[in-house]
Amino acid sequence: MVSLLRLVLLCVVVTACGEYAHTNPYDPATNISILIAGPDSAHSIHENLSFTFEVSRSWPGVVPQWLSGNDAIIGARGPGQFQVNGNGTADVLVAVGAHIGHHRVVVVQRAKQALFCYYAPCPTSLALGAAATLNVVQADSLGTVLLSAQAAAQVQYDVRPAGVLQIMTASPSSVQVKAIGTGRAYVVAALGTYMDSVAVTVQ
Amino acid sequence: MRTRTSGVRCRLRLITLASLFGPGCLCAQEPTRIPARSPIVLFGKEVNVVVAAPRALAQVSDSLSVAHALETCPPAIRASFAAAYANEPTGVRGASRDDRVAFVLVPTPSSSSSCDASAHWNPALLARGVQIAVPNAFDVRSDVRTVEFSARGQVLPLDSSARRAVVAISESAAQTVDRPSQIATWISAKYLAPDAAGHLPEVTLHVATSDSSSPEIVRLEGEALRDVWHDLVVVRIEKLGSAPTPHAPMPLPLPRDNPLREAHALYSAGQVVAAARIAEQRLSTNELSGRDALAARMLIVGALLAYGDSSAARIVLTDVLADAPCLTLSGSQAVAERLIEAMRPPARCSLTPLRRILLASLVPGMGHAVIGNRSSAVFAAGLTGAGAVVAWSLARNGEQAYGRYLDARSTDEAMSAYGDASRSRRNARRALAAAATVWLVSGTTAVFTEQFHARSVARVHAYDIHPTVGLLPDVRGGEARISMSVTW
């Protein structure tokens, strides 16, 4: 009797139901929503980024995989952990079965520091009436010099105390000073709240 | 009545004996023969058993087969045969209105002689006692004779009045030999009458050679006589003539066939024999619808019963009940009804209410079961059950495949399992739909079958008082009209 009821029930179910539900995460037809939360931009090389994700349902034994869409820009360091490697646009990916969630991150270095004589030593003395050019490089907040094609910021220059050196020309990457008096003076480059200085003695 | 030679009947009657030996164009025509039954071996020779009424034998004796057979014979034999045939005054031609039955043992034809041997053993000629013998082929020691004839376990007397001497024809002259008619045996039809249930007796012939003391036995099933009886019924109708009927003919419904309507009019007027003759002729044309064929047979039955010939009536009633096993008569025809009741074949003549069929049809096959169609019921139930089992099995396979799909941990594995599951479910659904269709069709056909059965039963219920409504074309004064008649 039970078997007969099962038979009838199964037949009714077979007749009544449509197709089988797509519920396996490895089935591309399964409807899965993956939402990744985290920064969508970064401005410093070597900056660490953390992400989290939410998925519409979970499956026992199915471990989400964190992936980078471009390791040259963002490198995966662990579950939800990435590090910026370069400028550009890359996707942070989370794979659940056959389904992948995307989160786009734009990396643009932002100048936060201005550094004198980064690549070569600066002149420390000048003869009265002589002029010298002091090179300046800009770096992001973690100290990485701005990579090429990155826009440099405006740097404010100053001489302290006045009367020893006079700023002749100034640009984001250099400043030309002339010795107008004897003594010791500092050329100061200010970028936002960050400042760097170099001491020059005029004889 | 079914007469296998009826198609050439009229033509044959126009052919005289002289024409047998006339122009050769006659010889090209297909010979007419009485169909023989399966050959049997008798005294080491293969023979055919021909059972025929004189009417059929007369037709064969007139047939072109004789001329065809003799065409290859020497002219002297043909001349001798003509003389013997002409000098045989008591042939079956005169006995064609007799209701005796001839049993003839006919050796299978041999073509060893240039003179067609089939002519030697023409059953009609042998029944007449005429035998053609080509020179050196006539061997009296091979003659056979019937020693004993029995039916229903009783030895029956042979009808010696039809026994005639054999006329042996040789190349030079005809010779009459006075000895028992070889091979041909006559028996009165009354010993071969059907029993109350319409069954014909099994007949046994004890046959011996003239020089043998141990007879051999030839058994013929009762149904072998049925065709003979169909000829005998015609003979009996012809014999009835215009004698007054001892019983009043039963009323019968009006048929649709126009000649049968005329027969019905004659029947209603008391001329039952004339009506039966017309009915027999219409039946032999095989042009009647099933309903009119039934009416024609009932006209013959009515005529025979009016003269008290229940034996011949039973033969026709067998055909009637084969087509309409539920035929009944009203209470005023109690005698005929008892006759029919005793012969009625196994058939369901009851009716099943529609509600019961519909309720029963809820169970696959039960609709047919309650109306007596056991085979259809078993078939429908089996097919429905098989479809359900297949559907269940496929559905279970689908569930198992879906389980594999849920456990799959790769895309290929998941998609393969899902494909299997979907395919199984689709096939299960088809099997279930097929089973449901069979279920539905079974119930529907049960209802329609019962309705058809109900109409069939109603059509022959109380047949003698069955109302018939007919439309008759009527032309009067150049104006076409239709008149309606209602007949009980």
Helix (H, G, I), strand (E, B) or coil at B373: coil
Do the Cβ atoms of B175 and B130 come closer than 8 Å? no
| Element of type H or E holding A197 | strand A194-202
B59: which 2 tokens?
């037709």
A96: pLDDT strictly greater than 50: yes
Q: Cβ neighbours of residue A80 under 8 Å, at least 6 residues apart? A: A38, A50, A51, A52, A53, A66
Q: Are B64 and B32 in contact (CB under 8 A)?
A: yes
CB nearest B414 (choices: A11, A14, A24): A24
3-state helix, strand, coil in chain A (%, to 5): 5, 45, 45
Residue A20, SS3?
Answer: coil
Rounded CA separation B70/A45 (Å):
127
Q: Which of B178, B176, B180, B158 is nearest to B167 (CA)?
A: B176
**A19/B413 touch (CB, cutoff 8 Å), yes or no:** no
B237 contacts B53 by C-beta, under 8 angstroms: no
Q: How many CA atoms lie within 13 A of B40 on its CB side?
A: 16
Q: Is A15 part of the contact surface with chain B (CB cutoff 8 Å)?
A: yes
Alpha carbons A190 and B45: distance in angstroms, whole number: 141
- Looking at residue A83, its pLDDT comes to 97
Q: Quick check: B414 and A27 CB within 8 A?
A: yes
What are the distances in angstroms from CA A120 to CA A15, A133, B448?
A: 83, 12, 109
B430 and chain A: CB distance < 8 Å anywhere?
A: no
B242 contact A CB<8A: no
Q: Nearest CA of chain B to the CA of A85: how many Å?
A: 32
Which run of H or E residues covers position B484? strand B479-487
Beta pairing partners, B482: B473
pLDDT at A57 (0 to 100): 87
Residue found under tokens 């019963």: B305
Contact A20 B405 (CB under 8 A): yes
Which chain A residues touch B406 with a CB distance below 8 Å? 23-24
Residue of A nearest to B424 (CA): A14
Q: Which residue has the tokens 């009165």?
A: B188
3-class secondary structure, A38 = coil
Residue with tokens 């003391």, as numbered in its chain: B213
Spatial neighbors of B59 by CB under 8 A, at least 6 apart, are B5, B8, B9, B12, B32
Q: How confident is the model at residue A8 (pLDDT cuts 50, 70, 90)?
A: low
At residue A99, the pLDDT reads 94
Torsion from C-alpha of B343, B346, B352, B356, nearest 10 degrees = 160
The pLDDT assigned to B248 comes to 80
Q: Do B415 and A22 touch (CB under 8 A)?
A: no
Q: Which of B211, B167, B203 is nearest to B185 (CA)?
A: B203
- Please check whether residue B438 touches A, CB under 8 A: no
Q: Tokens 């590090």 label which residue?
A: A83
Cβ B80 vs Cβ B257: under 8 Å: no
pLDDT for the residue numbered B45: 63
In this predicted structure, the answer to whether residue A93 has a pLDDT above a threshold of 80 is yes
Which stretches of chain B score pLDDT less than 50? 1-34, 36, 63-65, 88-94, 111, 116-121, 131-142, 161-163, 178-182, 469-488
C-alpha distances in Å from residue B103, one per residue of B34, B140, B379, B403 = 12, 20, 47, 80
Gap between the Cα atoms of B350 and B290, Å rounded: 22
Task: Please check whether residue B396 touches A, CB under 8 A.
Answer: yes
Amino acid at A134: L
Q: Which of A8, A10, A59, A63 to mutate to probe the B interface, most B CBs <10 Å?
A: A10
**Residue A171 predicted with pLDDT over 80:** yes
CB contact under 8 A, B411 and A23: no
Please judge whether B422 and A14 are an interchain contact, meaning their C-beta atoms are less than 8 angstroms apart: no
Distance CA A160, CA B378 (A): 115
Give residue-wise pLDDT tens across range A97-143: 999 999 999 999 999 999 999 998 989 999 999 999 999 999 999 99
Min CA distance, A108 vs chain B (Å)?
37
Q: A48 pLDDT exceeds 70?
A: yes
User: What would you report as the CA-atom Rg of chain A, rounded to the nearest whole angstrom?
Assistant: 31
User: Which residues neighbour A118 within 8 Å (Cβ) at sequence distance 6 or greater?
Assistant: A135, A136, A137, A139, A145
Structure tokens at B144: 């056979």
CA distances in angstroms from B231 to A4, A189, B101, B284, B354, listed in the order given: 62, 141, 10, 11, 45
Per DSSP, B137 falls in state T
The type of residue at B111 is: S
Q: Do A14 and B395 touch (CB under 8 A)?
A: yes
B323 contacts B293 by C-beta, under 8 angstroms: yes
DSSP label of B477: T
For the stretch B306-350, pLDDT in tens is 888 888 899 999 999 999 999 988 888 888 899 999 999 998 889
Angle in degrees, CA B485, B486, B488, rounded to 5? 140
Supply B348's token pair. Answer: 């369901």
Q: Which of residues 270-309 of B touch A (CB under 8 A)?
A: none
Residue in B393, B415, B430 to test binding to A, most A beta-carbons within 10 Å:
B415
Nearest CA in chain B to A6: B392
Q: Kindly report the three-state secondary structure assignment for every residue of B239-282.
A: HHCCCCCCCCCCCCCCCCCHHHHHHHHHHHCCCHHHHHHHHHHH
- Chain A segment 52-71 residues within 8 A of B by beta carbon are 61-62
Please give the pLDDT value at position B140.
40
| Interchain proximity B405–A98, CB inside 8 Å | no
pLDDT of residue B154: 86
Number of C-alpha atoms within 13 angstroms, CB side, residue A64?
A: 24
A13 touches chain B (CB under 8 A): yes
Is some CB atom of chain B closer than 8 A to the CB atom of A98?
Answer: yes
B388–A10 CB contact, under 8 Å: no
Q: How confident is the model at residue A5 (pLDDT cuts 50, 70, 90)?
A: low
Task: Determine the pLDDT at residue A116.
Answer: 94
Q: Taking residues A27-50, report their average pLDDT.
A: 95
Residues of A in contact with B433 (CB under 8 A): 15
